[in-house]
Chains A and B, each alone.
Chain A
């Protein structure tokens, strides 16, 4: 699949945003504010909002006719994209009310805060699930049409949230609880294993072959003529390929940047007296770039079945 930059940026950046928001809420509800001062808390919230919004905005960049983007809320009955849109819209007032309730109650976790916070946390997961289902619902892309996709999206969203949250705390001069570093390590490790398994999974042949595409299931089928000389929309969109070397390199980079480096850094943080800011920054940056690359590969390795009509055997 052709990886549209705006979609990569959207899913990863808003993932960080929702993740950070979710962690901020969870920590508040479970153990009280980790921040020394109120402003730091507000700034963290603000950053989360900005990340979410950057993501959402960039998602409209790949639309060929953005003036109709508002109509995307219409088909929540069947469309995961529509559902994502509706929930994303819903998320703002709820998250803002949560912050407002905290603020009004001088950062005391009231029942209202509990309720709103819990809703927000759940919504974060549901929303991420919806985003993932946009891809996972496509029967046309065997590499996406799997439960692995929503699981992965949720995993990465909460993982990036944990790293972002840790950075937020460290940047305020604090040190997160060891549980946070442990969570980061566990999630990184899970992500690593998950991704390794996914790489094997995407290599599996699909049951949709050039033979089932053309109905000739009892003989070899070869594409002879595409019917057009230059690449068309279908080939540009669905038959976007990179060389095997680039692909192998990208896989290694994803594992290293998104998971191994943050894992090592988080383990080091855990073993330190006080957390290091530069290590926290490095972890987040590596993870961000790593996940962007992960999302890019997610597209590159997705083989839309239209490619069978263009000669791909399976």
Chain B
């Protein structure tokens, strides 16, 4: 299995709902707590597993504002794992999820250095590395109803811009959608082969204009012929 997320840059509205739901779920989950420094003061900052940035693509008037959510992409060639000296970081063989064992991490930051996607953040208070768990404690939880065995971010997204599934299965929803819409890799040149794919914004639909077959002047009361329409 190769579990991951398919993220739709066409429909994401940048609401930060996924980032907040992620923090909420995971701060009490396998990787929590996710600490915050200066929470009520100047320059508040904290550990998040998912962040949304916004870009402007192209110059006005041909410009598009694109919201860009990013969490761990659960790369095939996860150098963040290779470099980890303690073995705290690992990629699970069974499903490809990349995790950090909170009990073994020494907080050296090296894995964060090795991650091109900014998916790892050191928790200053806890002294250990935090990253997206793909909500491993939801997706396998038999106590949850089946439709809720999905990452918190996926469940919360109001525009369904995040899909979760197995990219190894060519018939999974994520594989099919990714094929259909040309799912893309971020920084492919680095060779990390991320599992998570990004769907590009769609071309604007071209709508035909109503073909006008007469130049009749609708404004003329005189030429108006009322149809027989029963109330």
**In the bound complex, what is the Cα–Cα distance between A78 and B192 (angstroms)?**
16
Which of A64-72, A100-108, A169-177 touches B? A64-72
Is A208 in contact with B44, judged by CB distance below 8 angstroms?
no
Chain A's closest residue to B62 (CB) is A219
**In the bound complex, what is the Cα–Cα distance between A68 and B57 (angstroms)?**
44
Q: Give the contact-size bracket for chain A.
A: 35 or more
Chain B's closest residue to A234 (CB) is B118
Contacts of B155 in A (CB 8 A): none
Q: How many A-B residue pairs have CB under 8 A?
A: 191
Q: A21: CB under 8 A from chain B?
A: no
Is B106 in contact with A63, judged by CB distance below 8 angstroms?
yes
Is A230 in contact with B45, judged by CB distance below 8 angstroms?
yes
Is A72 in contact with B108, judged by CB distance below 8 angstroms?
yes
Is A75 in contact with B106, judged by CB distance below 8 angstroms?
no
Query: From residue B50, how far is it (CB to closest CB) to chain A in Å?
Result: 10
Most chain A CB inside 10 Å of its own CB: which residue of B108, B118, B190, B192: B118
Contacts A85-B85, A227-B54; A214 near B68 (Cβ below 8 A): yes
Query: From residue A237, how far is it (CB to closest CB) to chain B in Å?
Result: 7
Task: For B106, give its contact among A72, A207, A220, A304 (CB under 8 Å).
Answer: A72
Q: A221: CB under 8 A from chain B?
A: yes
Is A69 in contact with B79, judged by CB distance below 8 angstroms?
no
Q: B176: CB under 8 A from chain A?
A: no
Q: Give the contact-size bracket for chain B.
A: 35 or more
Q: B6: CB under 8 A from chain A?
A: no
Query: From residue B108, how far is it (CB to closest CB) to chain A in Å?
Result: 5
**In the bound complex, what is the Cα–Cα distance between A308 and B190 (angstroms)?**
13
Q: A53: CB under 8 A from chain B?
A: no
Contacts of B117 in A (CB 8 A): 306, 309
Is A220 in contact with B59, judged by CB distance below 8 angstroms?
yes
Contacts of A140 in B (CB 8 A): 79, 113-116, 190
Q: Could you tell me which residues of chain B, from 109 to 134, have a CB within 8 Å of some CB in chain A?
A: 109-110, 112-118, 121-122, 124, 126-128
Chain B's closest residue to A211 (CB) is B57
Which of A38-46, A131-139, A181-189, A267-275 touches B? A131-139
**In the bound complex, what is the Cα–Cα distance between A72 and B190 (angstroms)?**
26
Q: A158: CB under 8 A from chain B?
A: no
**In the bound complex, what is the Cα–Cα distance between A225 and B68 (angstroms)?**
10
Query: From residue A282, how far is it (CB to closest CB) to chain B in Å?
Result: 36
Contacts of A234 in B (CB 8 A): 112, 118, 121
Q: B19: CB under 8 A from chain A?
A: yes
Q: A81: CB under 8 A from chain B?
A: yes
Q: Could you tell me which residues of chain B, from 60 to 109, have a CB within 8 Å of some CB in chain A?
A: 65-66, 68, 70, 79, 81-88, 103-109
Q: Sample 10 A-B pairs with CB under 8 A, ordered by A number.
A: A68-B104, A68-B106, A74-B87, A138-B113, A140-B114, A214-B57, A222-B55, A227-B16, A227-B19, A233-B121
Residues of B within 8 A of A (CB): 9, 14, 16, 19, 38, 42-48, 51-59, 65-66, 68, 70, 79, 81-88, 103-110, 112-118, 121-122, 124, 126-128, 184-192, 198, 200
Q: List 8 A-B pairs, minimum CB-CB distance, nearest first.
A: A64-B107, A230-B43, A64-B127, A65-B127, A71-B86, A82-B85, A68-B106, A65-B107
